[in-house]
């Protein structure tokens, strides 16, 4: 079909959109804890290594698929490998984000609720399931789908271009406050003290899994967003910008959260517990001496979480919307409504059972995502015409020609072996 496709307006817009997808709950509630528990500065080094040696080439592989075809994930695979097994990569890439957004938006909903609670500093007990979470989930999902309905340029690009800079300013402000709290030193040590004895094979697998999740790999997002990137844009440059932004945000979030947690004398935790149980205690503690400051910090913090989650959820929604618009000839507004309804219905299972919530999270982030990544690297490394891959990554031989060899080697050999190992480990463990 011949719909006119939109494009991101500039490199900055591409990076903001990609970084918006990358920066999210993963950076806020998993990364800081993992760093502390798995070797501090030593873990950060491993994480950076994983990000550049594996996640980055995988990111570029998806970018090649997306920009080469200028099509949604399913359309892209239909163009590159029509009628073959590889089209299943397209379908998987559309299904996975639907599953993820169904529970991701629930967390977005909790964050909206906690944002409002910040003003009274009355958080009460954490109730992750039930009618109230359903209400806030509905609000969060509707806002995200609403933004996507405005389109690639007027919706996604605009929202990310405003949100991402704000997010960085807020997290830096919160960090400055946090590292100056009494007793913050212990939290800083928790994050930086290198402990190389903690670096085992498992740690490595965790670091890599976290890096994939954080970079939003293996679920059609980079394929879809890259399909809106201009032909003459340098994919490597936008990729580096995205990796750096996501890494920086993770580290800033760590220094915003952990010093405050230690200052309050609380044991750090991971996952929902960190943000919705541990941190409210921190804010309550602060509120005993200075309620106004505690309210401001808490409100800014939960506002940041809402925004970070929303820039990610719109990327998840866009994958399905792009598919419906291009392959099924459905108007963008209606496509957003459809994705909203499906995600909302799928989410009902998680919003009423924290057990299901945990299972859906684990299944999609360990299994579906890793499988998606595996298919991507096998496809680009072994099946796609190498000349085409080179042409796309080097813009017809004008840029990045020197690094192409290294990129291709990583995608063809190193990535599949590593990802397969992790995939099997996840299955067995």
Query: How many alpha carbons lie under 13 Å from residue 306 in its C-beta half-sphere?
Result: 21
Q: Which of 213, 225, 249, 340 binds ligand PHE (CB under 6 A)?
A: 213
343 lies in the site for ligand PHE, by CB under 6 A: no
Q: How many CB atoms lie within 10 A of CB 41?
A: 14
221 lies in the site for ligand PHE, by CB under 6 A: yes
141 lies in the site for ligand PHE, by CB under 6 A: no
316 lies in the site for ligand PHE, by CB under 6 A: yes
Range 223-257 burial, b when 16+ CB lie within 10 A, else e? bbbbbbbeeebbbbebbbbbbebbbebbbbbbbbb
224 lies in the site for ligand PHE, by CB under 6 A: no
**The dihedral formed by the CA atoms of 422, 382, 18 and 213, expressed in degrees to the nearest 10:** -10
21 lies in the site for ligand PHE, by CB under 6 A: yes
Q: How many residues bind ligand PHE (CB under 6 A)?
A: 15
Q: How many CB atoms lie within 10 A of CB 194?
A: 14
Considering beta carbons, is residue 27 or 55 the nearer one to ligand PHE?
Answer: 27
CA-CA distance, 408 to 404, in Å (whole number)? 6
219 lies in the site for ligand PHE, by CB under 6 A: yes
220 lies in the site for ligand PHE, by CB under 6 A: no
Whether the Cβ atoms of residue 226 and residue 46 lie closer than 8 Å to each other: no
- Stretch in the footprint of ligand PHE (CB under 6 A) among 20-28, 176-184, 295-303, 405-413: 20-28
- Stretch in the footprint of ligand PHE (CB under 6 A) among 24-32, 47-55, 64-72, 138-146: 24-32
Give the shortest CB-287-to-ligand PHE separation in angstroms: 28
Structure tokens at 428: 């067995």
CA-CA distance, 15 to 38, in Å (whole number)? 30
Rounded to 5°, the CA angle 165-168-173 comes to 130
Considering beta carbons, is residue 212 or 262 the nearer one to ligand PHE?
Answer: 212
Considering beta carbons, is residue 203 or 210 the nearer one to ligand PHE?
Answer: 210
| Residues in contact with ligand PHE by the rule CB under 6 A | 21-22, 24-27, 100, 213-214, 216, 219, 221, 312, 315-316
């Amino acid at each position: 079909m011949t719909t006119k496709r939109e494009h991101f307006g500039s490199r900055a817009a591409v990076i903001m959109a990609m970084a918006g997808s990358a920066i999210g709950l993963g950076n806020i509630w998993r990364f800081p804890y993992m760093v502390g528990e798995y070797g501090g500065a030593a873990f950060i080094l491993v994480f950076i290594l994983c990000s550049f040696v594996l996640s980055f080439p995988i990111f570029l592989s998806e970018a090649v698929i997306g920009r080469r075809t200028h099509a949604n994930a399913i359309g892209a695979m239909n163009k590159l490998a029509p009628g073959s097994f590889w089209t299943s990569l397209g379908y998987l890439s559309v299904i996975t984000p639907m599953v993820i957004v169904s529970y991701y938006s629930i967390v977005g909903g909790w964050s909206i609720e906690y944002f409002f609670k910040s003003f009274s500093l009355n958080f009460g007990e954490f109730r992750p399931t039930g009618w109230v979470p359903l209400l806030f989930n509905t609000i969060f999902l509707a806002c995200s789908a609403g933004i996507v309905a405005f389109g690639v340029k007027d919706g996604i690009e605009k929202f990310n271009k405003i949100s991402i800079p704000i997010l960085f300013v807020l997290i830096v402000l919160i960090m400055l406050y946090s590292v100056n709290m009494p007793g913050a030193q212990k939290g800083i040590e928790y994050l930086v003290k290198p402990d190389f004895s903690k670096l085992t094979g498992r740690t490595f697998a965790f670091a890599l899994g976290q890096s994939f999740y954080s970079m939003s790999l293996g679920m059609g997002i980079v394929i879809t967003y890259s399909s809106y990137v201009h032909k003459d844009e340098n994919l490597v440059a936008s990729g580096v910008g995205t990796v750096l932004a996501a890494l920086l945000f993770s580290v800033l979030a760590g220094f915003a959260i952990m010093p405050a947690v230690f200052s309050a004398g609380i044991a750090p935790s991971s996952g929902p517990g960190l943000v919705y149980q541990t941190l409210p205690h921190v804010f309550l503690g602060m509120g005993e001496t200075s309620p106004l400051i505690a309210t401001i910090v808490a409100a800014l913090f939960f506002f940041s979480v809402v925004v970070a989650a929303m820039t990610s959820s719109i990327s998840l929604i866009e994958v399905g919307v792009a598919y419906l618009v291009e392959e099924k000839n459905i108007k963008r507004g209606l496509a957003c409504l459809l994705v909203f309804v499906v995600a909302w219905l799928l989410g009902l299972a998680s919003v009423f059972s924290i057990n299901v919530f945990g299972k859906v999270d684990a299944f999609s982030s360990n299994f579906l995502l890793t499988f998606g990544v595996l298919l991507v690297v096998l496809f680009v490394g072994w099946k796609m015409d190498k000349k085409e891959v080179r042409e796309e990554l080097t813009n017809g031989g004008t840029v990045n020609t020197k690094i192409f060899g290294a990129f291709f080697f990583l995608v063809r050999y190193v990535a599949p072996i590593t990802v397969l190992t992790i995939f099997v480990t996840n299955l067995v463990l």
